[in-house]
Structure 1
Amino acid sequence: MEMNGIKLSRYTLAVPYQGRVILFNTLSRSLVAISEEVWNRLKNSINNANVGIDNGTLNDQLIKELTALGFLIPSELDEKELMRTHVNILKYTPTHMGMFVNLTSRCNLSCPYCYQDLRKALDNNQDLTTDGWNRIMKLINKRTNILRNVNVVFFGGEPMLNYDTLKVAVRDLDSLREIGIKASKSKISCNIEHLQNYSEFLTLYVKSRYKKLLEGEQ
């Protein structure tokens, strides 16, 4: 999808939702919402070799915003190499720390193909307690003098089933911003839309994670 030196990032996910399109870039971790009309014109402008991205097609400010957030990139940029570099930075740079945190072995589903099928044979399901999370934060806090980025992925089981610890963890990670450390948070979930605390978590997560919403007006 290249046009006039610009292409759409290969790491951009587009999800239609109530007349808009939610865009999420898995490399830059940016999230925006634009109208379906703007999204379609954007794709057409990039795909059509006879149409440039200019004031007659899309708002210049919108193009600048989408470029700054990583949705639009220079056509010569090798994103695979960029991703490899990003991963290596997370793995080997002392100013970065990444971890997977298992919040619980419990799950609201019982999928026969689940790789965690062994837990069905256990007599007790285990949750990460807030004390357990506090020990993880102590590990992080020991390196705050050199850390610049912390990336935490929560998984389970269904992590939302240990909601109390999840809330504490999100708020603790957000507090790192006060000392100049960027904290990225992700969550691997199953079918969670119906869970009791989902809407409250979305509010908490949106406030702490999402960067910007673009309305897409011309």
Structure 2
Amino acid sequence: MVLSRHVIITPCPDRPGTSILFSAKRGALILVDDELLAAIGAGGLDADEEQILAELGFLVPDHASEQQEMRSFIDESNRVSRSFSALVILNLSCNLACSYCFEGNRRGAHFMDDGTADRLVAYLISGPVAEGRSLSLRFYGGEPLLSVPTIRRIARPLKKVMDARGLSFSFSLTTNGTLLTRELVEELIPLGLVGATVTLDGPPDVHDAARPFVGGEGSFSVILANLKAVADLIALEIGGNFTPETYREYPRLFDLLVAEGLGPERLALMRFNAVMSAGENRALPEFTGGCASVNEPWLKDATLFIREELLRRGFPAPGLSPHFCAIEAEDSLIVNHDGTFYRCPAFIGIEGLAAGSLNDGPSDHAASHGLGGWKNEECLSCAYLPLCFGGCRYYGYLEHGRIDRVSCGRDLFDAIVGPFLALEVKYRHQPGEDSTDTDGDPD
């Protein structure tokens, strides 16, 4: 057995003589002392130790077979999936006037009509539901809660059919939170509502500057009141979008949430990302911030700063785990308000990147989207491959004007993975007396 190419080894700063080993293939983290690390490198383990480390993805029979395993990783994931998810864009309208609105001049009174909603229901019932798959929808916008009648029109028949067939159905919302009242949530839960992702772009002053109502007044207080009112009913994920100028303000938000009774025990996840730049006719012209590349130097500091502030307070934050772009997933789909299919919401409206429609069914997007572009020697030998599989294709589009090229994040991974793992150990990894903890779950 040999050490996997997709293992990251970094010293544990708080434990002299100890290293952190992380399997990017399995998301497993272990702590080993110098003696055991030397034994792993020299092939000096006993059979039981080899078996444990192999099961956790640290050891492989040989690199050739591992490379073949990685080549088929996404295909195998697609093959075994028994679920189907769809992100449904109900409209391109909004009651906020965010400074960085991604829809840009595409924003307007564009709503999914009843006929399109009915065709979507029929498509899902005749497709994934007929195949016996569980079904989860995420309603998106614009602001999806400006289209509550359409949510009812889609969710009610799907819930009825799925219940009759003994299949799981649920839906969630990506919403600005201003309309997420307790009364509405109580109405939607019987139809399948299980959660919502709500955006807070920092403490009140920072958030209100970035995300005011159309009339100019701040939105933070309304959102906070709604979050407090529904936190006991559904799973809440708090998201946010930071810039180089705002990310250091986030600790004030975290402390405010705790003070307002929205501490770690009441939130399902906290996930914050840099504002992405947008192509022509997408971002608002007065907004000039945002990332056009994952390798912008300030991203390292911002990512680690926000993560440590979350973990310090005990908030749930996503860990490192295998991840691939949605365009390669056969069990998910983006449905625009007009019934056009896409493989990523960032591609909506970009010429040549539609992937079928409700009228015509899905189209073959392998060539147009550059599927499998990561199956090259450089990517296959990279320790970080399971964490990105070629990276975000929209970043690739911003960098190269096309999406059939990988967006390599090696520089960012090199900068943050070691410190990221050290934070896991410091705040969330609790090994016992043995210097090796092989639970395989850093979360």
Greater strand percent: which structure? 1
Larger Rg: 2
Normalization by structure 2: what TM-score? 0.26
* TM-score normalised by structure 1 residue count: 0.47
